[in-house]
A and B are shown apart, each in its own frame.
Chain A
Amino acid sequence: MLRFFHQLGSPKHFYRIAGAWIPWLAAACGVLVLYGLYQGMVVAPTDYQQGDSYRIMFIHVPSAWMSLFIYVVMAAAGAIGLIWHMKLAEVIAISSAPIGASFTFLALITGSIWGKPMWGTWWVWDARLTSELILLFLYLGVMALYSAVDDKRTAARAAAILAIVGVVNIPIIHYSVEWWNTLHQGPTVTKFGAPSIDLRMLIPLLVMAVAFKLFYLLVVLMRARVEVLERERNARWVRELVERS
């Protein structure tokens, strides 16, 4: 086990192991998405208040969860890279940013499209929506900062510091619906006690949440492999790999 992690720290082995995982992750993710969509779009009943519009939830809520989850992973990986100078952690942090930005964008846009028929407006400047928008700007800031500096290691360090500072936004987003009055509904799944949601709605929601987690894992490994190749371009194993391709 220890040897496995040690090998994972070396770029060459990471590239190989991640490459072996990618097709399996893609297959598992694809199966879960299809199953989740079937359960969510066909099996789950119509909501008694929101009609069929609530089916946007099956992408909106997992996207919003992922936007927070990926940010925490990115900041943690950035911190590990800063403290222990672990190159692979830097790579994971930087590869996470565009995926997190994508999910944040999806959470915002699908929330907006859901808000129009339910709230009567595309957007309100309330705590939940505003803090989620700030999250998008944090992701974009991390990406911009990383690409603005030529030296990759300095760039990764600067981006990691920004990511770590931005972590204060995460609890604000999570608790915003409880701390402030808002149009956004409160949590129905993570609150204590039984979730106040029909099981036939809860199952596809959780399946989609797992599918999105796998999707993140898949794409972050794909991105990290490219980033590793680029950083190790002068290493012998990369030269040999280029010769063979």
Chain B
Amino acid sequence: MNLQAFFHMGGYAVYVWSSYAIALVVLVANILAPLRQRRRLLRQLARRQRRERRQP
């Protein structure tokens, strides 16, 4: 297969690849968001529990 022709997409490269790039960004963001939220929540809960132990 011709790699240059593949990236050229019959002259529609800008349209095709920008669509795929946007999709990639949106999907990856969907994976990262809950991972970050989970980390943040666990840190926040750990802080609260440490506070409670010090002053019961």
In the complex, per-residue mask of A207-229: 1 if CB is within 8 Å of any chain B CB, else 0: 00000000100110011011001
Instruction: Check A126 for interface membership: any CB of B closer than 8 A.
Output: no
**Complex alpha-carbon distance, A113 and B18, angstroms:** 8
Inter-chain contact B30/A113, CB cutoff 8 Å: no
In the complex, per-residue mask of B25-38: 1 if CB is within 8 Å of any chain A CB, else 0: 01101110111011
Q: For chain B, residues 1 to 56, give those with C-beta under 8 angstroms from any C-beta of chain A.
A: 1, 6, 9-12, 15-16, 18-20, 22-23, 26-27, 29-31, 33-35, 37-38, 41-42, 45-46, 49
Inter-chain contact A113/B15, CB cutoff 8 Å: yes
**Complex alpha-carbon distance, A204 and B38, angstroms:** 34
Secondary structure at the B interface, as helix, strand, loop or mixed, is helix
**Complex alpha-carbon distance, A179 and B25, angstroms:** 34
B50 to chain A, nearest CB (A): 10
B20 to chain A, nearest CB (A): 7
Instruction: Give every chain B residue within 8 A of A223 (Cβ-Cβ).
Output: 33-34, 37
Inter-chain contact B41/A42, CB cutoff 8 Å: no
Inter-chain contact A53/B12, CB cutoff 8 Å: yes
Inter-chain contact B41/A63, CB cutoff 8 Å: no
Inter-chain contact B19/A102, CB cutoff 8 Å: no
Inter-chain contact B30/A229, CB cutoff 8 Å: no
Inter-chain contact B23/A52, CB cutoff 8 Å: no
Instruction: Check A98 for interface membership: any CB of B closer than 8 A.
Output: yes
A60 to chain B, nearest CB (A): 7
Instruction: Check A106 for interface membership: any CB of B closer than 8 A.
Output: yes
Instruction: Give every chain A residue within 8 A of B27 (Cβ-Cβ).
Output: 102, 215
Residues of B within 8 A of A (CB): 1, 6, 9-12, 15-16, 18-20, 22-23, 26-27, 29-31, 33-35, 37-38, 41-42, 45-46, 49
Q: Which 6 pairs between the two chains have the least Cβ-Cβ distance?
A: A52-B10, A222-B34, A53-B12, A52-B9, A51-B10, A110-B19
Residues of A within 8 A of B (CB): 41-42, 46, 51-53, 55-56, 59-60, 63, 98-99, 102, 105-106, 109-110, 113-114, 116-117, 215, 218-219, 222-223, 225-226, 229-230, 233, 238-239, 242-243, 245
28 example contacts (A-B, Cβ-Cβ < 8 A) are as follows A42-B1, A51-B10, A52-B9, A52-B16, A53-B9, A53-B10, A53-B12, A56-B15, A56-B16, A59-B20, A60-B19, A102-B26, A113-B15, A113-B19, A218-B31, A219-B31, A219-B34, A223-B33, A223-B34, A223-B37, A226-B34, A226-B41, A229-B38, A230-B41, A233-B45, A238-B45, A239-B49, A243-B49
